[in-house]
Structure 1
């Protein structure tokens, strides 16, 4: 197989990628601390007029009937909850990243956001179900961000999708991430890690993004979080939400069993919860009736 060196071009794309808004980066940083104070989130969000407006619109929507309208962020947060608030903040700040079609994966506009949101919900649900010492909110955040490297490498994979799928089907490579490596000498997880590092994300999120297809290779400190995202990713795909040609062309890494137990019945129940919560969240953020 011919390997083409795209490393310089990909590195340039990473450096040219528009930065996450400072507001979103700060919110992620605050929420990564389990002892965060609500007032810290309020103070940061209030500096972004567009985000504030969007949060208040959702908080005052028909989905949250109340006698008195919400007129400030401090009152909106308890009504919405931190997970929905984070989803609104990420979508509002990253539409230039998540809303694009990924031609190199043959996926449509909006597929990446839908898959990322379902992965986030699934990772959170698994964390809650298995009762481990990992913040469900952290699992949710990592799930939202896990596939952002695809935005960078998609253009370099364009026209090669059928070849990559064939390699996977014929066991020439182990999975789709290995197929990416054969073509461009890197993969979306590594490139996502580069973005996360460039944007000064917490180390826990950097690792979860870098190793979400191979959690066994992650440092022990962040391995459980990475397994949560790994399984959340699989659950999202099983629910029919992938990012195109690579959907379900990955292997479940069984090492999670060394850290927590989750049965097939648990996963089936979680999948139902994911589908329900996804529809609710999408409806609230985008005003889509489902």
Structure 2
């Protein structure tokens, strides 16, 4: 079996994305979603139900009495916090293993994924972009999912890839593609296809290092994910060795009309939103 065939088999072996979460995301995408219908979707998963009630009764909300009804908890949390809780819970299980090929500690890739999703939401609000929140958060959160599959393959070829990157002639993903036949963005797109995500999310994941290659209808979404990825690294939520080889965010900042003078405000907004999201997702921010 060739190396490329082994990688394809590894993609096929990825566990499915939780159906309850996908169905809940579809329901939340409707601005007029019905709470009763959403509760019917969520109540079949005991772990999700327990997490929703746990968050609702946490000190973060400081409610005067204990909430024991899933329906009541869903109403208290609202769409945005439910989305963050559900997607974060599903994604954390995918990213929880150490990523040896990228020199990433057990939680570092996960924290980078969450930071990228938060940064994307901050940029969306800052520029008042008309992009679906569900789609953007999901694509940004899962943009590096291909690393989960490629990690062991990268580890086996690490010295070759590292040498190519250190030469200054290749970004990390360019070196991946030359040595392995795929880069982690390619593989991430294939995983998103396997999970039957919408074409918009598949595209944003597959081209988050090359947004110019995205179909025109998904270009802004992909550019936002690409820029958020780079800015997350810039503010300290890096992803090991390949985080040192990010390129091109200057052009994306210019295209999205974000000036140097905006960066201080953006970073402050990001820090505030990251703290809130970590609280909702049950993540240690430090």
TM-score of the two chains, using structure 1 as the length reference:
0.89
Change (3 A) 1:287 1:250: closer
Q: As a proportion of its length, which structure holds more helix? A: 2
Change (3 A) 1:11 1:29: farther
Cα pair 1:234 1:248 within 8 Å, conserved = no
d(CA) in 1 for partners of 2:150 and 2:165? 19
Aligned length: 285
Change (3 A) 1:61 1:238: same
- Choose 277-286 or 192-201, whichever is displaced more: 277-286
d(CA) in 1 for partners of 2:48 and 2:144? 23
- Stretches of structure 1 lacking an aligned partner (at least 5 in a row): none
Give the alignment partner of residue 191 of structure 1, picking from 181, 187, 190: 187
Query: C-alpha offsets along residues 165-194 of structure 1, whole Å, 9 cap, x if unaligned?
Result: 442232332x11101112211011110111
Which residue of structure 2 lines up, in the alignment, with residue 152 of structure 1? 149
Query: C-alpha offsets along residues 169-222 of structure 1, whole Å, 9 cap, x if unaligned?
Result: 32332x111011122110111101111101100111111101111111000011
Cα pair 1:224 1:256 within 8 Å, conserved = no
Which residue of structure 2 lines up, in the alignment, with residue 216 of structure 1? 212
Which residue of structure 2 lines up, in the alignment, with residue 271 of structure 1? 267
d(CA) in 2 for partners of 1:270 and 1:79? 28
Question: How much has 1:80 moved relative to structure 2?
Answer: 2.9
d(CA) in 1 for partners of 2:235 and 2:251? 22
d(CA) in 2 for partners of 1:216 and 1:257? 14
d(CA) in 1 for partners of 2:116 and 2:132? 15
Cα pair 2:120 2:224 within 8 Å, conserved = yes
**3-state SS of the aligned residue for 1:158?**
helix
Cα pair 1:124 1:137 within 8 Å, conserved = no
Give the alignment partner of residue 244 of structure 1, picking from 221, 240, 245: 240
1:61 to 2:58 alignment? yes
Question: How much has 1:13 moved relative to structure 2?
Answer: 0.8
Question: How much has 1:274 moved relative to structure 2?
Answer: 2.1
Change (3 A) 1:288 1:38: farther
1:15 to 2:12 alignment? yes
Question: How much has 1:137 moved relative to structure 2?
Answer: 3.7
d(CA) in 1 for partners of 2:160 and 2:12? 29
Which residue of structure 1 lines up, in the alignment, with residue 168 of structure 2? 171
Change (3 A) 1:11 1:281: same
Change (3 A) 1:216 1:50: same
Cα pair 1:127 1:135 within 8 Å, conserved = no
d(CA) in 1 for partners of 2:189 and 2:237? 22
TM-score of the two chains, using structure 2 as the length reference:
0.90
Change (3 A) 1:208 1:41: farther
1:129 to 2:123 alignment? no
